[in-house]
Chain A
C-alpha cells in the first residue's frame, strides 16, 4: 500500500468519526457534553484539512499513484 492510500484511509475514518461526533453534538441534551463534542468536531475539521493538503502534495510528488 502506498503512503497516499494509507493517508486516504485515515482520512476516510476520520471523516466517519467526524460525522458521528456531529450526530452526538446535535443529539446531546447536556450543554457540557455538547460543548465537548463541538470542540472535538473543530479539531477533527482542522486535521482533515491538514491531511487533505498533505494528500495534494503527495499526489503531486507521486503522480503515478494518483486516484488510488
Chain B
C-alpha cells in the first residue's frame, strides 16, 4: 500500500475517533479542568496525532494506549460519582483562602499562592478592595471565587423590599424565518396564534431573524431589515396606565357626586382598584 493512502486512511479514522472520544469524555470546559485532566486531554491529543501521522507504526499499540488514556478517566469519573473520597482524591479539594475577612496565610502557603497573585485573582473578579471580601475559595480548577461582605453585595429586589413578578425563560419560536414548533407548543401556543400576532404587527415570517415569546406571552421580534422601526410590546404598560386612569376617574366621581350612597360606592371601588393596582404592579411594570 502506498504511504500516502495509509496516512490518509489513518488520519480519517483518527479524526472521527477523536471526535467520538471528545463527545464521550464529556462537556467539561477546557479552561475549567483540573491539571490532571489537562494532561489526560493532552495525551489523547498527542497520541491521536502520532498515530495518524504514522509515527506510531503499530495501530494496535496506538489504539491500546489511546483507549487507556481516554477510557480510564471515564471510569474514574463514574467511580467518583459514587464515592466522595475518591472524588476528592482525583479532583482535589477546594482551599479556603479568606475566611471571615481574614486571609488564611497557612492555606496560601500550602497552595503556593503569593499575596500578589491572590490580589490579582481577586481583581479579575472585580474585587479591588480586600476589605470587601468575606470569603474566598480556591477551586480545584485554580479559579478563585469570592463572596463579598453582605453590605458590599449588589442590591437585589429583596434588599429593596420590592416584589418582582416572576419571569421564567423565554422561548425562541422563530429562527431565520422558520417557525420552531416545539418551543411554541411548550408555551401552549400554535402556529395560527403566531401568524395572527405577526399579522397584527404587519410583518411577514421571512423577514424575521429571531422571535421570542416571554413568560407572559408577549412576542418580541428582530428583523433582517433593520430600517423598519417596530413598536415594542407595551400592552402591559398601557394596561397599568388604564387601571390608574380608571381609579382616578372613580375618585373624581366620588368628589363630584352629591348622592351619599353613590359617593360611598365610588370611593369604595377606587380603594379596591388601588389595592389591585399595587398587587399587579410587579407583573405589569418590570
CA of A30 to CA of B265, assembled, Å = 33
Is B246 within 8 A of A14, CB to CB?
yes
Q: Please state if A10 and B246 are interface contacts (CB–CB under 8 Å).
A: yes
Does B205 make an interface contact (CB < 8 A)? no
Chain A residue nearest in CB terms to B245: A13
Question: Number of residue pairs across A and B with beta carbons under 8 Å?
Answer: 82
B25-50 interface (Cβ within 8 A of A) = none
Q: Which of B179-222 contact A (CB under 8 A)?
A: 187-188, 215-217
* Beta-carbon contact of A13 and B242 below 8 Å: yes
Q: Helix, strand, loop or mixed for chain B's interface? A: helix
Contact of B279 among A7, A40, A46 (CB under 8 A): A40
**Contact between A33 and B166, CB atoms less than 8 A apart:** yes
| Chain A residues within an 8 Å CB radius of B217 | 24, 27-29
Residues in B246-286 with C-beta less than 8 Å from chain A: 246, 249-250, 253, 256-257, 262, 265-266, 269, 272-273, 276, 279-280, 283
Chain A interface residue count, CB cutoff 8 Å, equals: 29
Cβ of A21: which chain B residues have Cβ within 8 Å of it? 239
Q: Are A47 and B279 in contact (CB under 8 A)?
A: no
- When C-beta atoms are compared, the residue in chain B nearest to A51 turns out to be B269
**Once the chains are docked, how many angstroms separate the CA of A21 from the CA of B283?**
11
Give, as a whole number of angstroms, the nearest-CB distance from B25 to chain A. 37
By a CB distance below 8 angstroms, the chain B residues around A57 are: 262
Minimal Cβ-Cβ distance residue in A for B249 = A10
When distances are taken between beta carbons in the complex, the residues of chain B under 8 Å from A13 are: 242, 245-246
Closest 5 CB pairs of A and B: A27-B217, A10-B249, A17-B242, A43-B276, A47-B269
Task: Give the chain A neighbours of B265 by CB distance below 8 A.
Answer: 50, 54
Tell whether B21 is near chain A: CB-to-CB under 8 Å: no
Residue of B nearest to A16 (CB): B242
| Size of the chain B interface, CB-CB below 8 angstroms | 32
CB <8 Å contact, A47 and B273: yes
Which chain A residue has the least Cβ–Cβ distance from B235? A20
Q: Could you say which residues of chain B place their CB within 8 Å of the CB of A24?
A: 216-217, 236, 239
Cβ of B243 under 8 Å from chain A? yes
Segment 23-45 of A: residues with Cβ below 8 Å from B: 24, 27-30, 32-33, 36-37, 39-40, 43-44
A7 near B253: Cβ-Cβ < 8 Å: yes
Alpha-carbon distance between A10 and B168 when the two chains are bound, in angstroms = 34
Q: Which residues of B contact A17 (CB under 8 A)?
A: 239, 242-243, 246
Cβ–Cβ contact B262 & A43, under 8 A: no
User: Which residues of A are found within 8 Å of B92, using beta-carbon distances?
Assistant: none
> B250–A43 contact, CB under 8 A?
no
The CA-CA distance from A37 to B246 in the complex, in Å, is 17
- Contact present for A39 and B256 (CB under 8 Å): no
Q: How far is the CB of B186 from chain A (nearest CB, A)?
A: 9
